[in-house]
Amino acid sequence: MPTLAIDKGFLADLVKLEKPVAKRVTEVFDEFDTATHTGLHLEKINNARNPGSARSASTSRGAA
């Protein structure tokens, strides 16, 4: 089972997001925790400092 960790500055940044975006971010954590399918998975980002991401909406993704 993969482990998902957050950066120590994550919560401070989360409260700065627009409410619908912040809500969706927290929903993604729940979905990742309970996912039994491959629809929510880590994807490689080309030329990125961080090698993975998780899609949170059709227009958003978070670095993982």
20: helix, coil or strand? helix
Mean pLDDT, residues 32-36: 73
Calculate ∠ Cα 6-25-13, nearest 5°.
Answer: 60
Q: Any idea which residue has 């491959």 for tokens?
A: 38
Higher confidence at residue 12 or residue 47?
A: 12
pTM for this entry:
0.54
64: helix, coil or strand? coil
**Predicted pLDDT at 19:** 94
**Predicted pLDDT at 62:** 66
C-beta separation of 10 from 25 below 8 A = no
Mean pLDDT, residues 4-15: 86
